[in-house]
Amino acid sequence: MKWSWKFVRIAGIDIYIHVTFFLLIYLVGISYWNQEGNLNAVISGVGFILALFACVVLHEFGHSLTARRYGIQTKSITLLPIGGMAALEKMPDDPRQEINVALAGPAVNFVIALLLYLYLNVQHIEISPEGLSVTDGSFLYRLMLVNIFIGVFNLLPAFPMDGGRVLRAALALRMDHASATRVAASVGQFLAVGMGFLGLMYNPFLVFIAVFIWFGASMENNAEQLKSVLGQADVRHAMLREFHSLSPEDTLAKAVELTLAGSQKDFPVGYHNQLEKVLHHGDLIQGLQLQGEHARIRDLPLQTILTADINEPLEKLLERMQGNPAQMICVVDQGEVVGLLNLENLLELIRIQSAVDAHNLAKKI
């Protein structure tokens, strides 16, 4: 995530802190200073927030380490003022595994709360149900209450929060994944609207979380619907069968000629069937400016080309292309290059597939 600073690496997972998190610490410090007017209050106020976010990190580790048991790695954990975010490679496809991963986060908070409760009991510190307040009482007592709150709050069935993920997975046991996500996302957005209204009346912080849920639900739902369209197709369905390639010995003039003659903008480069590099349109234009049209293709900065088997599912390929959407893919059938594929071809296939789906749906109605 942009504007994040790498803080520490634990159990092979990088922990980042978003710059707005420091703003939160600053605001908390200032508000304690204005209320109490002494440094001790500021230190204990800020210290409490730091302890709270340490618990949030442990919550995210609950998700990450459970996912690791199912062979899914976590790229990073980022701390934001509204909480933590673990960037898992993906969620498990098996709904039962997804339920375990989603529940592991809140479970960590309940365990922390239980341990604090036991400790406070041993120390004979009074825990009264009447005095339930996050602003009163000892440091550890408040930390216990806040952990219970985090655990319960995250279990609200507001997809993509943890409880919403449990709901989606539970639905996915009975229906297909895309429909389950659509239902869970609608429930999540409905709850987000309610939360937004409550937030406007009582606590602006809730409005932030509501916005986060609303957009999170819509983004994940779109990605899931896309996956379901692509899920039925292989690379062969989306690839471009007619294409031109260049030899490293060709001149830039040849590349210009081919660009003007057709719709192809990027060209694979190599000898015969050994297409190992790709010349991107931007690099061609820059090469023309710097070296002129008589320069050779091999003198330009060429990118390594990705290859895909003609039978590879598009969903798998899309996962590989993530983070590098401009990538051109060389499609190979038994060692022979038979086609090209880029994000544009994929989008074209999605447009066509959606139109066909809409037509079929209209016929059913």
Question: Of 148, 151, 160, 210, which Cα lies nearest the Cα of 185?
Answer: 160
User: Min. distance of Cβ 170 from Zn ion in angstroms?
Assistant: 17
Q: In the range 160-179, which residues lie near Zn ion by CB under 5 A?
A: 162
What separation in angstroms does the CA of 311 have from each of 227, 239, 268?
17, 11, 20
User: Min. distance of Cβ 125 from Zn ion in angstroms?
Assistant: 29
Phi-psi region of 44 (alpha: psi -120 to 50; beta: other; left: phi over 0): alpha
Q: In whole angstroms, give the CA distance from residue 347 to residue 203.
A: 42
Q: In the range 69-128, which residues lie near Zn ion by CB under 5 A?
A: 105
User: Min. distance of Cβ 231 from Zn ion in angstroms?
Assistant: 27
Q: Which residues, at least 6 apart from 1, have a Cβ–Cβ distance to it below 8 Å?
A: 16, 18, 78, 85
Question: Of 296, 291, 287, which Cα lies nearest the Cα of 247?
Answer: 296
Q: Candidates 120-128, 159-167, 187-195, 261-269 — which segment interacts with Zn ion by CB under 5 A?
A: 159-167
Binding mask of the shown chain, residues 246 to 285, with x at each position contacting Zn ion by CB under 5 A: ----------------------------------------
Q: In whole angstroms, give the CA distance from residue 68 to residue 101.
A: 9
Q: Candidates 91-99, 147-155, 209-217, 297-305 — which segment interacts with Zn ion by CB under 5 A?
A: 147-155
User: Which of 147, 154 has the CB closer to Zn ion?
Assistant: 154
Q: Candidates 88-96, 131-139, 150-158, 210-218 — which segment interacts with Zn ion by CB under 5 A?
A: 150-158
Residues binding Zn ion: number (CB under 5 A): 3
User: Min. distance of Cβ 187 from Zn ion in angstroms?
Assistant: 17
Torsion, Cα 338 228 220 182, to 10 degrees, reads 170
3-class state of residue 31 by DSSP: helix
User: Which of 45, 84 has the CB closer to Zn ion?
Assistant: 84
User: Which of 162, 234 has the CB closer to Zn ion?
Assistant: 162
User: Min. distance of Cβ 63 from Zn ion in angstroms?
Assistant: 6
User: Min. distance of Cβ 105 from Zn ion in angstroms?
Assistant: 3
What separation in angstroms does the CA of 201 have from each of 30, 196, 211?
24, 9, 15
User: Which of 162, 224 has the CB closer to Zn ion?
Assistant: 162
Block residue for tokens 């590098």:
324
What is the crossing angle of helices 204-231 and 314-321, to 10°?
Answer: 130
User: Which of 88, 349 has the CB closer to Zn ion?
Assistant: 88
Binding residues for Zn ion (CB under 5 A) = 105, 154, 162
